[in-house]
A and B are shown apart, each in its own frame.
Chain A
Amino acid sequence: MLDFLPTVSIALVFAVSFLVTFASTPIIGKIMRKRGITGKDVHKLESKKLPEMCGLAILLGLTVGVAIYTLIFPNAIREAAAFIGTVLIAGAIGIVDDLRPLSARIKPLLTAAACVPILLLGTYDPLPVIPFVGPVRFTIIYPLLIPIALAVTSNSVNMMDVMNGTMAGTVSVIAVIITAILLIAGRTETAALAAGLLAVSLAFYYFNRYPAKVFDGDTGSLAVGAALGALAILGRIETVVVVALIPHIMNAFYGLASVGRLYERREIRQRPIRLLKNGELQASEERGAPITLARVILAAGPWGEKEISRAMIILTLISSILAALTFGITMVGKI
């Protein structure tokens, strides 16, 4: 319908997704508080209880945004269904985890299953574009790598959701770059989906930034991580997304490597950071504590939560610029 005006179409998906998430977050927050679904804001002296599971607003915003998308791009309905299906499955796993915590081994397995819509609808191209190599044919192996990719993106974004605003802030930065890259690559339909993700992340960031008023819970972080994974596959920008997610992978991989197994934050006795009496956070010096990104940032000395959150967003901005450079190298390689 609006194929001749891709910018307007993308702006429309962005606006609708943003408005729905922005309007619904406080309402969902009130409902969650009323039902007692709250979590402690642990990195503050006065640890207030904030409404959890407000990531439902992200799911709502993306669902309505994708509905608009299917009206604008009726030919891309399969792509839209694969994207929103993946996001909703990951979100549903997040809801279960928020209400009844799943074990550290079960969660990655379940999030891997979020790839089912992509596999069933066949909305992938087994030709990942790799820098210096170009498109590589992986007809048989590629579908087997999709569940691993989704488990990695959703759980690494989830593990980054440790400070006020880090999940929404870092994903907003990545979504800006991904939208721009997909537009440059001429994949307008996938760019519109990325714009939807950018919109919901930005809208949620407003409420989740320091000092947070709501928490997204695993409902939000797993869904957003799965959305990034789905965009990487649908948009054929796998390497670009891996580079953009360097801080997230760093955080998840270091934690896992230093603990030596899959773990949940609540299982860890030796905390990676501790709260000082002046309200600042300090890196733990214990050898057995997981080396997370926050702990690495705090190695140079104590810092406030607001500064750490900002630092994570800056590091993601740097990795996103590197992702754009990677895309440039890939394009040059194709010429």
Chain B
Amino acid sequence: MKRLVPLAGIEVLVWAMLLLCMLLISRVAFEITIGTGTLLDRIATQTVRVLMSGIIILVWLVAWKKITDRYFWRTIARRKAT
């Protein structure tokens, strides 16, 4: 089960990154307000907030994939070398 240690590490890192993303969403995405508060303004505000949050989450997913890809191919290369 020793081989699970790096994978557990990736999980914790990904979780920490998710929390960071949440902080970013709260400080950046949710600060956006469009217009004066009519129904159209509210729809536009919520849409932009969701889109912005979506972009932040996408960055999180891409970073997560890069970390795992790197771990995977490095481990395969190390195993081949030994």
List residues of A whose CB falls within 8 A of some B CB.
130-133, 136, 138-141, 145, 239, 242-243, 246-247, 250, 253-254, 257, 283, 285, 291, 295-297, 299-301, 310-311, 314-315, 318-319, 322, 325-326, 329
Residues from chain A with Cβ under 8 Å of B11 in the complex: 246-247, 315, 318-319, 322
Q: Which of B11-47 contact A (CB under 8 A)?
A: 11-12, 14-15, 18-19, 22-23, 25-26, 30, 42-43, 46-47
Cα(A285)–Cα(B73), bound, Å: 9
- Are B68 and A315 touching (Cβ within 8 A)? no
Q: Produce 1/0 per residue, B67-80, CB < 8 A to A.
A: 01101100110011
CA distance A250 to B75 in the complex (A): 18
Kindly identify which residue among B1, B19, B69, B76 contacts A329, using a CB–CB cutoff of 8 Å.
B19
State the CA gap A32–B37 with chains docked (Å): 58
Contact B8 A318 (CB under 8 A): yes
14 additional A-B residue pairs with CB within 8 Å, beyond A291-B72, A297-B7, A326-B15: A133-B26, A141-B46, A246-B14, A299-B76, A299-B79, A301-B79, A311-B3, A311-B4, A314-B1, A315-B11, A322-B12, A322-B15, A325-B15, A329-B19
In the complex, the answer to whether A140 meets B68 with C-beta atoms within 8 Å is: no
Interface SS of B by simple majority = helix
Q: Which of A140, A247, A285 contacts B76 (CB 8 A)?
A: A285
Q: List 29 A-B pairs, Cβ < 8 Å.
A: A130-B26, A132-B19, A133-B25, A133-B30, A136-B30, A138-B46, A139-B42, A140-B42, A141-B46, A141-B49, A145-B50, A243-B15, A246-B14, A247-B11, A250-B14, A253-B65, A254-B65, A283-B76, A285-B80, A291-B68, A291-B72, A296-B71, A297-B3, A299-B76, A300-B79, A301-B3, A301-B79, A311-B1, A325-B15
On whether the beta carbons of B3 and A250 are closer than 8 Å, the reply is no
Residues of B within 8 A of A283 (CB): 76
CB distance from B31 to the nearest CB of A (A): 11
| 3 nearest A-B pairs in the assembled complex, by CB-CB distance | A299-B75, A133-B26, A300-B3
Which chain A positions have C-beta within 8 A of B46?
138-141
In the complex, chain A residues whose CB is within 8 Å of the CB of B79: 299-301
The prevalent SS among residues of A at the interface is helix
**Residues of B close to A139: CB separation below 8 A:** 42, 46
Query: Contacts of B30 on A, CB cut-off 8 Å?
Result: 133, 136
Q: Among A132, A254, A300, A314, point to the contact of B23 (Cβ < 8 A).
A: A132
Q: Taking the complex as formed, is B61 at the interface, i.e. its CB lies under 8 A from any CB of chain A?
A: yes
A291 touching B69 by the CB < 8 A rule? Answer: yes
In the complex, A204→B28 CA distance in Å? 45
A283 to B26, CA, bound (A): 40
The docked-state distance in angstroms from the alpha carbon of A325 to that of B26 is 19
Across the interface, B43 reaches (CB within 8 A) one of A140, A297, A325, namely A140
Contact between B26 and A250, CB atoms less than 8 A apart: no
Residues of A within 8 A of B61 (CB): 253
Residues of A within 8 A of B8 (CB): 315, 318
Return chain B residues, CB-CB under 8 Å to A318. Answer: 8, 11-12
A169 to chain B, nearest CB (A): 15
Chain B residues near A243: list those with CB within 8 A: 15, 18
A246: nearest residue on chain B (CB-CB)? B11
User: Are the CB atoms of B22 and A296 closer together than 8 Å?
Assistant: no
Q: How far in angstroms is the closest Cβ of chain A from B48?
A: 10
